Amino acid sequence: MSGGPGLFERWRGRSTPAPVEPEPPPSVPAVGLQLWLDDSARVQRMAGPLRCALALPVHGDMRLQDCVQPYSLLVLEGEPMDWQAQPLDLDFKAAGGGTLHTRGWLLGQPGNWMLQLFDIGDLLQHRQQSMNAERQRHLTSHLAAELRDCSIERLGQVAQEQLQWLVRHWRASGVRILLQGEQGWQTYASSNGPVHWPTDEDIGRLLDRQVPGQMVSSIAHADLQVLIPQADTYLMPYAQGQIARAWLVCVGPLEALNAVDALNACAAYAEPLVSRLAAFELQQQSERLDSLQLQLGAGWWQWRCNESTLQVDPGLAASLGIPAQLTLGQWLSRVHPADREAAQLAFAELQREGCALHLSLRLLDHNLAANPRWFRLCGQVRGTGQQRRVQGFLIDISDIKAQQLQASAAQARLENLIASSPAVIYIQRYVEGALQSDFFSASLQPMLGWEPESSGSLQPGQWVHPDDQALWLARTRTLLREGQVRSRYRLCDRYGGYHWVLDEARLLRDDLGLPVEVVGIWLDVTEATEAAERMRESEERYRVLVEDSPAMICRYTPELNLVFGNQPLADYLECSTTQLAGMNLGQWLSSAQREAFVERVAGLTVEQPVSTAEICLELPGREHAWWVWSDRGLFDEQGRLLEVQAVGRDNTQVRRTQQQLMQSAKMATLGEMATGLAHEINQPLNVMRMAVVNALKRLENGEVQADYLQDKLKRIDAQVLRASRVVDHMRVFGRRSAIEQQLFEPWQAVEGALSLLAEGLRGKGVVLRVEAAAQQPKVKGHQDQLEQVLINLMVNARDALLTQREQQRELQPWIALRMEANEQQVRLLVEDNGGGIDPRLLERIFEPFFTTKPVGVGTGLGLSVSYGIIDAMGGCLSVDNGVEGARFCIELPVHSTS
Ligand code: ADP
């Protein structure tokens, strides 16, 4: 290929063989090489300087064909005669295995032929070099064009394709390109194929050992392989100035390549790649910067000190609504008046002193109604002389400023809160095992009268009440041991008074767990403590009151289980107060009483928490006891009954007296009815007598018939029955009432009353108008007592009627007895035409002992007892004047409709 020994052969350490010692020059000096041939091309003689370069010594039998390279035999076909008159290009085998390129002509001479040849090796080499240079130009321009013209997205792929192309072109095994990355030199692209590559790290270590400037220049003019000890691996730098920007690693025998070509190709490849990547990186950086500026509301500014104009980043200028280039005066006019002077002075100082500028200021928005925006203005002087300028940036800190304002407002509020809080916040520093006061909030002054500023030197221990000093010391010990404490003690104020404080303190430790300081709070709980004390005393008083009270006092659950009972209750129930707890009140009540009791307690509500009733108990070893019992319900937040507090009074004696009174009243009624009753009994007696007389008459006349006698005897029997019924009823009526109330139909009481009175009334000429109701519901109480009420009313009516008739002879007296009933109520109305009651007396007639009747006639008890009976049945007795006389109305609640 090349005339001289190739560069790469030298790199591979092949030494050039020593040239063959030339033969002594021929006697006829000549140029080039002359060969004399016979007709069969046998070499007869040689001459000329080139003959020394031939490989074979000339011997007698040697033919020209023996001296040339095999491919030159084509030129030497036939006899010498055939070769004349044309240029002959012959390549001779040269000494040392090389080739000697020659061109010449065959000249016919007498008896032989002379071949005149010249060395054309230089010419060929020159041509080869031009061709190589052409190829190289093509290669480099192709590489550069491909890499320059492709899109940035395809750059990586094109780089790889071009390496592939380079590999083919150089007939190498593989080529890869290394660029400076974040972690040093890194492969950017690599040709395909199985190649034994050194790693990036190895190459990086190799390159790091070089001083870049020296390395590049030395390599550019020296062996490409200098850095790689392995055979067939080459490193080619691409440098800008003295700095390597890329390295091409090539593996394979680069025999056909010289270092300059290789470095040129490397530069042609790497230059567009590096510059495009750098441009791309720059573009991205610029985009990132723009976006950053945009997001931060920031931008640069520049001010040339000897000019009056200020340059501002166009994006920022647009957002501020100012021109990108403006005078300092114009710019200052956009600064908020409050910050303008400071800005002006800062710029003046900057110009004068050249120190750095740091300023926070407000810039007015072009929309003047909007709030001014806060900016941080920074700048520093660069350059000197004509080039002296201030460069800096403006950054929008409105958000931070707003937060700062909020934070300082919050802090001010907090400080205000701490200062105005009724609690004192204090800090004690931990110094060598002791706690020293460091801070007291302003509320110390209103609370204890001490000034917070001067109190730093004061130790709270000095203010502690002498009786509480042990508590104070225990508080400090607990705090240091457990990290927190809650205690209560008295502190002396400035005026000598003591305050109860609730102290909540916490110990703060550092990273190592060592105590740093104590943060605590004092709450003035004097009032609460005193109130609690008063409460305790008051409770004590109440406890004494409850325990010593003659009334029965207890607390019980809604299930009637006693929680507490005082001594009087225990006495009644014949046990101790401790035994009372857990006992059930129901055990002393009859089932009906218990049912009524539970129902009453269940009816307690938050709105009506109190209920009073008279309850009847069956106490151990006693007759019935009557207690007036007052309950008060205690409820939870949801209004559920939790407990009942009750106060009771023994009413048995009163009850008995009442009963006796009732009985007396009853007896009095009976007495009053005596005439009527006599009439009532006389009537059947008369009938019987008549029957007996008539029967006897017939017997005497001897005209007695069995039928007649039977009829008379039946009549007598019926009258006996009638009389005995009246007497029976009188006996029943005269009995004491039963203890407990019962259910009964009220009409039965009406009938009972009528059975005792009807005949007597008729006998007096009083007409009875009786009207029953369709329904017969049941009421609760004592039938005999209702009967007594009705008798009272009817007897009173009778008396009024008889009195009236004395004045008014023509009066037709009547008493109307009417019953009305519905689901809820029964009404019994007793009306007469006896002239009524003086309206002035209406209110008084139910009073005990009120009577208008003459002494010895009226007792004045009838209506008052009647009122009590109806009231005990849960009903109401009322009176008004009707058209002709008084009208009494008994209203009773219905208990059962069946
Ligand atoms: P007493 O009948 O012994 O007087 P009461 O208590 O029964 O006692 O009655 C009180 C008074 O009420 C009577 O004295 C009478 O003046 C008046 N009174 C009661 N019933 C009537 C009536 N039907 N008409 C007029 N006055 C009546």
Nearest partner of 747 among 681, 821, 674, judged by Cα: 821
Residue 216, ligand 1, Cβ within 6 A: no
438 band by pLDDT with thresholds 50, 70 and 90: confident
Question: In which residue are the tokens 């058209």 written?
Answer: 883
Mutate to test the pocket of ligand 1, among 789, 863, 880, 888 (most ligand atoms within 8 A of CB): 863
Tens-place pLDDT, residues 342-393: 998 988 888 888 788 889 999 887 776 778 889 999 988 888 877 888 888 9
**Which pLDDT score is estimated for 11?**
36
Nearest partner of 445 among 486, 398, 482, 494, judged by Cα: 494
**Both structure tokens of 758:** 């009807």
Q: Is residue 589's pLDDT more than 60?
A: yes
Closest ligand 1 atom number to CA of residue 832: 23
The angle, 0 to 180 degrees and rounded to 10, between the axes of the packed helices 155-170 and 259-296 is 170
Region of 357 on the Ramachandran plot (φ > 0 left; ψ -120 to 50 alpha; else beta): beta
What is the torsional sign of CA 266, 268, 269, 270?
A: positive
Q: Is residue 216's pLDDT more than 70?
A: no
Ligand 1 centre distance from Cα of residue 678 (Å): 23
**CB-count exposure of residue 671 (10 Å: 0-12, 13-18, 19+):** exposed
Q: Is residue 567's pLDDT more than 50?
A: yes
Amino acid letter, 786 = L
**Which pLDDT score is estimated for 30?**
64
**Which pLDDT score is estimated for 898?**
59
H/E stretch holding 160 reads helix 155-170
Tens-place pLDDT, residues 293-320: 888 888 889 988 777 788 998 888 888 8
Distance CA 255, CA 253 (A): 6
**Which pLDDT score is estimated for 209?**
62
**Which pLDDT score is estimated for 502?**
93
Strand pairing category for 389-396 and 423-431:
unpaired
Tens-place pLDDT, residues 479-513: 999 999 999 999 999 899 999 999 999 999 998 88
Closest ligand 1 atom number to CA of residue 865: 6
Tens-place pLDDT, residues 144-202: 999 999 999 999 999 999 999 888 888 888 899 999 888 888 899 999 877 777 777 87
| Residue 489 to residues 469, 472, 475, Cα–Cα distance (Å) | 8, 7, 10
Strand pairing category for 434-440 and 423-431:
antiparallel
Mutate to test the pocket of ligand 1, among 666, 673, 796, 829 (most ligand atoms within 8 A of CB): 796
**Both structure tokens of 492:** 């002396």
Q: Name the residue with the closest Cα to ligand 1, atom 16.
A: 852
Residue 792, ligand 1, Cβ within 6 A: yes
Ligand 1 centre distance from Cα of residue 782 (Å): 23
Q: Is residue 846's pLDDT more than 50?
A: yes
Q: What are phi and psi of 544, to 5 degrees?
A: -60, -45
Give the mean model confidence (pLDDT) for residues 320-342. 89
**Both structure tokens of 679:** 């009439």
Distance CA 481, CA 484 (A): 8
Distance CA 468, CA 472 (A): 6
Ligand 1 centre distance from Cα of residue 605 (Å): 42
Ligand 1 centre distance from Cα of residue 394 (Å): 110
Cβ within 8 Å of residue 294, ≥6 positions away: 315
Ligand 1 centre distance from Cα of residue 839 (Å): 13
Q: Name the residue with the closest Cα to ligand 1, atom 12.
A: 845
Q: What are phi and psi of 785, to 5 degrees?
A: -75, -40
Distance CA 831, CA 818 (A): 9
Q: How many CA atoms lie within 13 A of 715 on its CB side?
A: 19
Residue 800, ligand 1, Cβ within 6 A: yes
Residue 15 DSSP code: P
Say if CB 254 and CB 236 are below 8 A apart.
Answer: no
**Which pLDDT score is estimated for 247?**
87
Q: Is residue 629's pLDDT more than 90?
A: yes
CA 223, distance to chain mean position in Å, is 72
Q: Which strands, in side-by-side order, build the sheet including 99-109?
A: 43-47, 33-37, 112-119, 99-109, 88-93
**Both structure tokens of 179:** 């660029």
Ligand 1 centre distance from Cα of residue 163 (Å): 139
**Both structure tokens of 182:** 């974040």
**Both structure tokens of 245:** 């920007």
Helix, strand, coil percent content, the chain, rounded in steps of 5: 45, 30, 30
| Residue 840 to residues 837, 844, 866, 881, Cα–Cα distance (Å) | 8, 8, 21, 12
**Which pLDDT score is estimated for 597?**
92
Say if CB 555 and CB 643 are below 8 A apart.
Answer: yes
Instruction: Return the percentage of the chain with pLDDT > 70, whole number.
Output: 90
Residue 858, ligand 1, Cβ within 6 A: yes
Q: Is residue 1's pLDDT more than 70?
A: no
Closest ligand 1 atom number to CA of residue 797: 23
Q: Rounded to a whole number, what is the distance in angstroms from the first to the last CA of the chain?
A: 140
**Both structure tokens of 557:** 């659950």
What is the torsional sign of CA 597, 598, 602, 603?
A: negative
Q: Is residue 26's pLDDT more than 60?
A: no
Stretch among 18-22, 424-428, 429-433, 629-633 having the lowest mean pLDDT: 18-22
Instruction: Return the percentage of the chain with pLDDT > 90, whole number.
Output: 31
Stretch among 7-21, 109-123, 366-380, 648-662 having the lowest mean pLDDT: 7-21
Average pLDDT, the chain: 84
Ligand 1 centre distance from Cα of residue 154 (Å): 127
**Which pLDDT score is estimated for 16?**
41
Question: Which string of DSSP letters, residue by residue, matches 256-271?
Answer: T--HHHHHHHHHHHHH
Ligand 1 centre distance from Cα of residue 769 (Å): 20
**Which pLDDT score is estimated for 456?**
53
Residue 502, beta-bridge partner list: 488, 523
Stretch among 256-270, 276-290, 658-672, 795-809 having the lowest mean pLDDT: 658-672
**Which pLDDT score is estimated for 150?**
93
Say if CB 453 and CB 429 are below 8 A apart.
Answer: no
Closest ligand 1 atom number to CA of residue 859: 3
**Both structure tokens of 602:** 């269940």
Q: Is residue 478's pLDDT more than 90?
A: yes
Greater confidence (509 vs 52) lies with: 509
Ligand 1 centre distance from Cα of residue 864 (Å): 10
Tens-place pLDDT, residues 605-621: 999 999 999 898 888 77
| Residue 710 to residues 358, 695, 701, 719, 798, Cα–Cα distance (Å) | 144, 10, 17, 14, 39
Helix (H, G, I), strand (E, B) or coil at 468: helix
Mutate to test the pocket of ligand 1, among 817, 845, 865, 879 (most ligand atoms within 8 A of CB): 845
What's the full length of the chain, in residues?
898
Ligand 1 centre distance from Cα of residue 749 (Å): 21
Say if CB 773 and CB 820 are below 8 A apart.
Answer: yes
**Which pLDDT score is estimated for 547?**
81
User: Beta strands of 33-159 (E only): which ranges?
Assistant: 33-37, 43-47, 88-93, 99-109, 112-119
Residue 248 DSSP code: E
Ligand 1 centre distance from Cα of residue 735 (Å): 25
**Which pLDDT score is estimated for 255?**
66
Nearest partner of 65 among 79, 81, 47, judged by Cα: 79
Residue 850, ligand 1, Cβ within 6 A: yes
Burial 338-368 (b: 16+ CB within 10 A, else e): ebeeebeebbeebeeeeeebebebbbbeeee
Cβ within 8 Å of residue 459, ≥6 positions away: 436, 437
